[in-house]
Structure 1
């Protein structure tokens, strides 16, 4: 992290608390302001990544109007800034309102400095990841158009797409239903030398087995009843471009042998024909299935699996991308509002909490559908929980420090596991805790131990 990106602006009029925060947050370049005017000047001069702000600011130190006005101006002037709001003890309403106004997080007085340090550290990390994401997207636009994500797993997927996009390598996209496999396949196509050619997709699970072969390889006139003319299949139609074999894990085993021959020889035969036809096409496979398990069950050919997996990109489920959920929801809200003529629609604070709490088993697709439906069903411009029709998975207003600590610890362990490649000894060292303590925390947070912990 660069020196400028470590700048933390503290907006607090209590000089004693200013000194305490300078001392406890000395890992960062702390800049202090005591009111809105001086804060905005220092914001313009230092461009801090994170702002720690009290809601009670002069001349309204006993109220919150000045604090909320400051939040609004900061986000207008520097929209990527992460604002952490300091609220009074038990002041849940203003905590929720601050999140709805665009603040990143909050903490309550009296300040628990350990919790505060964890929240600040996480805010800097999220800011850094979002900046990296914007850089990647600006470098590869329009290739990654429509794909939103700042989580570490998504950034890793972006990097792999950029590296392999310009090659002719066969790519296997693994991810649950709704994780955006076709979006990534189209991004690979746009980055390739074949970008001017056709992008053709076929869902191997959606077509009956007796028709799938003809859809893939085409057929000759008279090949079967109803075949009134010669027809090219998807593979042939994609010649010179890219073919996405979506849900290839569900392809019938008998047809896999014919597909394997195409992989090996790059020629096809139409159903009912004897002529071999060469086809120059890039193949991308995608599936939600565990292909190794399918191989063990005798449902997928191992030799085809190795042909498909020259490069494998795993797309994370939305539950592993907690930092992306709000950004995705707002993106889908803007799209739906424009599509349905509902400009100005906004989520209420409770709706955002419900969105963050929902498990999203259908992943990004479920989120998009829920937001689109909410825009249609909402009575006014405020999208509340009732318009989302979601099971909240708990009280969306549960904002205790214990919950914040639990969530922060879980994310910190997940990041350390990724950085250490699953080596638990190194994870414990990175987190500054003993290995038994790490085991205990992982069990409490429901995190699985890697198969090889080193």
Structure 2
């Protein structure tokens, strides 16, 4: 099977392990360089020589800690690190992943397992150039890369953000980026199922377990198999069930209601909530929160990433046109202006709903402001605005349009706008527009 190859640095002080890794990776087609000291690694990673695609780094080194090498070198030239450690534990893995490491493997390991991790890390690096899936803003691209990084790990993931920011979309993206995207993805909305039924729905029940239980029922946890159990709105889960979920995560098994036989649980747990369940005032169990938030992701509201508004609108509208019999074929410039001024309290969900309604009801080829915002009486613009403020607002809107049409590619947007890349970057900085470099 064809696999990714790249330029790999090995930081390993054990001569037998280091030589073995060098030989095997060279045979696999990689360009390999081997270092035995952290100081040497920091110097080589920061001296401006050709960049490495991956650093395979031991944690325990004779002169410094592998994490220190990672932090010092990342300040100069960010390079993906895959850590190896004979002293690995969950806390260390979490700390490294949160710091930006692409992967972590515990010694002793099978060489085949390491090669799989290396290939996965190199694929993740090459996928950084792929067009955004969740958005073109820097914050959403960062979230996307974090999810790619988390994809190969079995630890729970907690996705937090306001209602409508795309938490389930992100969870499904994480599943697609995993090693087995064909495995089940079972979504459970904890707020939509009555509290007295949620346990039965989650864990299942035996025939005769209670009145009305006329047959065996396999719950969501069982149906998830080796895939993902996605618990949406986990902050609304009843306290009694929180304790049972904690036990599920600790024991990797559960009991159907009315049964004494344990059922093995192999799925990965991914949760989402719009509540701040980790705050001091939250009634959510702290021990469960710490287990669920091993790998966290926070999605910012749409009002904080205006770069995504027109880009998302275009994605949504293309999907609507493809799947609905509508007359609409695009969005007018006037409507785009109003969309960029709107605060979007309902986030991406509100944007999608407005487009769905407007496309269904509009008789126009291009959506107008009144189609999207029928509740507003007029669109005369803001009053009391100086000429300079109006010019700046128009320039910002045009930059956002260009970024949307080029999927956040600054060089392409600059050419479209007829300015240099440096000029566009300066204007983006001035207007607080953030996207990838």
- Counterpart of 1:306? 290
1:376 Cα deviation after fit: 0.9
Deviations 1:94-141 (Å, cap 9, x if unpaired)? xxxxxxxxxxxxxxxxxxxxxxxxxxxxxxxxxxxxxxxxx9898279
8 Å CA contact retained: 1:136, 1:158: no
8 Å CA contact retained: 2:277, 2:284: yes
Q: Aligned match of 2:212 in 223, 226, 234?
A: 226
Query: Is structure 2 residue 233 aligned with structure 1 residue 241?
Result: no
- Counterpart of 1:94? none
Change (3 A) 1:393 1:321: farther
Superposed counterparts of 1:416-431, under 5 Å: none
8 Å CA contact retained: 1:358, 1:392: no
- Counterpart of 1:401? 388
Change (3 A) 1:394 1:159: farther
SS at match of 1:292: coil
1:256 Cα deviation after fit: 0.5
1:224 Cα deviation after fit: 0.9
Count of residues in correspondence between the two structures: 276
1:186 Cα deviation after fit: 0.9
Deviations 1:233-268 (Å, cap 9, x if unpaired)? 100110111110110011001110011000100010
Query: Is structure 2 residue 352 aligned with structure 1 residue 368?
Result: yes
SS at match of 1:200: strand
1:326 Cα deviation after fit: 1.1
1:148 Cα deviation after fit: 3.9
Query: Is structure 2 residue 207 aligned with structure 1 residue 213?
Result: no
1:405 Cα deviation after fit: 4.8
- Counterpart of 2:373? 389
- Counterpart of 2:260? 274
**Matches of 1:187 and 1:270, distance apart in 2:** 30
The alignment's TM-score, normalised by the length of structure 1, stands at 0.56
Show structure 1 runs of 4+ deviating over 3 A: 135-138, 390-400, 403-409
- Counterpart of 2:281? 296
1:196 Cα deviation after fit: 2.5
SS at match of 2:358: helix
8 Å CA contact retained: 1:346, 1:382: yes
- Counterpart of 1:200? 186
User: Which sections of structure 2, spanning at least 5 residues, go unmatched?
Assistant: 1-122, 397-425, 433-437
Deviations 1:402-430 (Å, cap 9, x if unpaired)? 25658999xxxxxxxxxxxxxxxxxxxxx
8 Å CA contact retained: 1:342, 1:381: no
Q: Aligned match of 2:334 in 350, 353, 358?
A: 350
1:401 Cα deviation after fit: 2.7
SS at match of 1:367: helix
Superposed counterparts of 1:45-64, under 5 Å: none
**Matches of 2:190 and 2:207, distance apart in 1:** 24
**Matches of 1:343 and 1:275, distance apart in 2:** 58
Query: Is structure 2 residue 318 aligned with structure 1 residue 330?
Result: no
The alignment's TM-score, normalised by the length of structure 2, stands at 0.58
- Counterpart of 2:140? 154
